[in-house]
Amino acid sequence: MKLARHVMTLDGEQMHYSVVGQGEPLVLVHGLSGSWRWWLRNVPTLAQHYRVYLVDLPGFGSMRHLSKKFDLLRCAAWLDMWMKELGLEEVRLVGHSMGGYICMELATLRPEKVKHLVLVDSIGIPFGPMVNQLEAMAMRSIYRTTPAFWPYMAYDYLRAGRLMVRRAAEQIIALDAASVISSVVAPTLLVWGDQDDLVPFSLGQQLHANLAGSRLLILEGSNHFSMFDQPQVFNSAILAFFQGQEIGDLYALT
């Protein structure tokens, strides 16, 4: 299944995004230092059921030239502007890590537009490390995930640059997401690796407790990049969630 690459002018800058599949729109949003490539193990299955949109956030991937303009608190509004340009009236959102917070904020900004919300090893609950500690935690999580992921991470990190990643990390550490979390009304599924070294599973439990009506799927043996570590379980779970099947609070074994 071939991705169709598109370019549009958004807020005076060129934005690149990809589209594949047919059906209702499903938007995938990557995390810190990432790009749309982090979803490569998920897209073939998801695109059999939905029209999948893959974006690179400002400062990352194909949008690396916008690194000086990165503002975590403006990313949701930026995505909303993009959706308006495309005429996307109702979407399903899947966000990983930093992208999870951005999707949560968009779900509170435009609750009428978000049909389902999936948060994968997402930030949101304060966890307090300094930037240098966060970098060390990230390296540990990368080392302990499947080696097949390493080339994607290395390539995207080099494209973004250490300064850009550090700037975003500082904004993550300073984030106070309490008001956003309490305002989410979309049906929400949390997917978490129980071995997450970067955003620990204990934070996933706290986020679950603070998101009314949310469900929690725990991927045993998976680290921070659980959608890449265990794509078959991940894909099956979110498709079932989108189709209204009951996803309980459970462990999925490798």
Contact between 227 and 195 under an 8 Å Cβ cutoff? The reply is: no
Pairwise pLDDT comparison (192 vs 67), residue with the higher score = 192
Contact between 250 and 218 under an 8 Å Cβ cutoff? The reply is: yes
Q: How confident is the model at residue 56, as a pLDDT? A: 93
pTM score, whole prediction: 0.94
Q: How confident is the model at residue 66, as a pLDDT? A: 58
Which range, of 26-30, 102-106, 114-118, 214-218, averages the lowest pLDDT? 214-218
User: What span, in angstroms and rounded, lies between the C-alpha atoms of 110 and 97?
Assistant: 20
Q: Residue 209: pLDDT band by 50, 70, 90 thresholds?
A: very high
Residue range 6-23: average pLDDT?
Answer: 89
User: What span, in angstroms and rounded, lies between the C-alpha atoms of 125 and 201?
Assistant: 11
Phi, psi of 100 (to 5 degrees): -65, -45
Of residues 11, 16, 4, the one with CA closest to residue 159: 16
Q: Tabulate helix, strand, coil % of the chain (nearest 5).
A: 45, 20, 35
Identity (one letter) of the amino acid at 227? M
Give the tokens for residue 153: 């991470």
Tell me: pLDDT of 250 over 60: no
Phi, psi of 199 (to 5 degrees): -120, 90
Type and span of the H or E element at 128: none
Task: List the CATH code of the domain at 4-252.
Answer: 3.40.50.1820
Question: Which conformational region is residue 162 in: left (phi greater than 0), alpha (psi within -120 to 50 degrees), or beta?
Answer: alpha
Contact between 147 and 133 under an 8 Å Cβ cutoff? The reply is: no
User: What span, in angstroms and rounded, lies between the C-alpha atoms of 180 and 23?
Assistant: 29
Q: How confident is the model at residue 254, as a pLDDT? A: 36
What residues contact 56, with CB distance under 8 A and at least 6 apart? 16, 17, 30, 35, 36, 62, 63
Q: Residue 140: pLDDT band by 50, 70, 90 thresholds?
A: confident
User: What span, in angstroms and rounded, lies between the C-alpha atoms of 136 and 78?
Assistant: 30
